[in-house]
Every structure is written in C-alpha cells, then in structure tokens.
Amino acid sequence: MIAVEEARFGTVGLSDTGDDSRVAYASYGPDDAPAVLVLGGISAHRFVAGGPDGIAGWWPGIVGSGAALDPDHHRILSIDYLGGAGDSRLGATAGPGVPVVTTADQADAVVAVLDHLEIETLGGVLGASYGGMVGLALAADHPGRVKRLLVLCAAHRSHPMATGLRVLQRRIVTLAAAAGREADGLALARELAMTTYRTPEEFEVRFDSAPEWERGAPRFPVEKYLEVQGERFTRRFDGQSFKILSQSLDLHRVAPERIHVPTTVVSVDSDAVVPPWLVAEMARRLPASARTVRIASKYGHDAFLKERRVVSRLVRHFLTGSIHNG
C-alpha cells in the first residue's frame, strides 16, 4: 500500500450540473509522471492503491509499489463513481424510479478531475468490468484526453442475459426495502451476482457438495461463502447506490467506431457476464489499432482480480506499448 502522505485525495464539484454533485478522486505518485487512470467494477473505490485509516487497495499485485503499475514511475488516478458507495455525490434528482447515471456521466466526471488537476492527457486508461465501460465512454467522448486504452472484461454494450440477472437483483432489493429489510435484500442480490462472476468449475474444486450439520440443519460450504460476500457488500453499499450503478451497467452503449485511440481489449474464456464473443464483436468494429487478448481462467468475470500474474504482465506490456495480438 502507498503511504497516505504520498497520496492526494480530494473532491471536485461538477458545477455544470446545476446542483451539488461532486466527484471524489485519488492521486498517487509524482505530479510530473505520466498519468494513468485506473477504474474497476461497481464495488471498486478510488483508493486503488490504499487510503486513509488502513483502507486497502482493491487491485493488489497490479497497482502499488513494485507492482506492474508503480507510483514511483506513474501518476495513478482513480475516482469514486457518481451514484455509488464512495465519497462522490449525486445531486438532487427528479422523476420516478432509479436516478439515471450513465458511463458517459462517469467519463465526464473523470474529465472534471483531469481539469482540476491540470492534466491535459492521460498516458493510459486501465478499465476493468464497469471501469472498462467507463474507459470506452471516455475514449469515445473525450478522445483528446486519452493516449491509449486497456479494457478488461468489458464491452461496448451489456449482454441481455447479464441485464436480466441484474434486473432481478434490483427487484430483490426493492422488494426487501418495501418490507423493511433492504440490507437483507442487498446481501441476497450480491450473493446472486457472485454466482455469475465465478464459474461452476471453480466452485466444483473449491466447495464440498456435502453439507455441514449445525443444530440438526444442513449448511453448505458454498452457502457460507455467499453469505460472507453479501455481508461484506452491505458494509459499503446501500440499496439505492447499488441500483444506480447496476442500472448504469445496463444502460451502457458506446459505438466502437467512435474510439480512435489505440485500444487493447482483454476477454476471459469463462466469463459469463461479458462473454468473449461479445468482446470480439466490439473488437471487430474498433479501428485497426485495436489489439485483442483472450486469457484462460477458471475465475470467470473476476479473472481480472484473481489472475494477477497474467494481468500484471498485460499491464506492464500495455504501459510500455509492447502488447501484441494474443
């Protein structure tokens, strides 16, 4: 983890929204080093390399001292997503339903941070999952602010099956909230999500199928694992922030033809949330400068978090401009 005194944390008001919206950011490394933006999934936060009060970075082995993306050599930036669980704030919204926040809105928030920090161009953008979607929106809407882009486990649109599952998750949270049990519904929605992020192959190896008997009732190892994941999620998220970012995933649309910066897209052979064929569809529509890499993993969509060795190698090659077709 980076020493907190070596990092800068702050917020930037989004004055053009006409309300009190603001985006919270983190900056690590020398101000004059090449700037690299790092964005993760909806549960990621701005403290990608660690923060106050012992907050751990969410991408260990990839970002940090001695890692592929090292603050000794780069200025590392990240944000808390608008509408999410961090310190960014979404101003008052009107209308029924869940407030609409798009990946283009998140990209605009990134630009506000760049303007505040007087950074004209990012040397690179590393985006995984939802962060990859935001990276695509940033490159499409603000091409002059990005030199090159690395997208992991993300595509130009959401798969309808993934959207269907997230719709069910949002309904679970809404029904639970109406019954006065929002936290329980949120935990259950996260538990359901975890079954899509990972693979049957991993669960087969990791968990015994036989139950453990507690007070005469069966408890399954996978059940305990999922409950822990749900409880952890509710410590940071509330129902509204989850629904905002979940909906934002489903609203995501970027025309690949609009992206003219050198782009590397990485898919995972076992990813059920963003299947390789969908990433390939995007890659075919990207400019000739696009490069594609497919990695094999038993971890599915979460491979960008779990496959540290291969992801670290990809990031190092990306930062030096030496990634080749894979």
Q: Within 10 Å of residue 172's Cβ, how many Cβ atoms?
A: 20
Catalytic residue among 156, 252, 301, 317: 301
Residues forming beta bridges with residue 124, ordered by sequence position: 36
For residue 73, indicate whether it is catalytic: no
For residue 269, indicate whether it is catalytic: no
For residue 301, indicate whether it is catalytic: yes
CA atoms of 55 and 68, how far apart (whole Å): 20
CA atoms of 129 and 41, how far apart (whole Å): 5
Residues forming beta bridges with residue 25, ordered by sequence position: 10, 79
Decide if 268 contacts 155 (C-beta within 8 A).
Answer: no
Catalytic residue among 74, 271, 302, 317: 271
CA atoms of 77 and 63, how far apart (whole Å): 11
Catalytic residue among 129, 241, 248, 270: 129
CA atoms of 295 and 119, how far apart (whole Å): 33
- The amino acid that residue 145 corresponds to is R
- The amino acid that residue 148 corresponds to is R
Catalytic (active-site) positions: 129, 271, 301
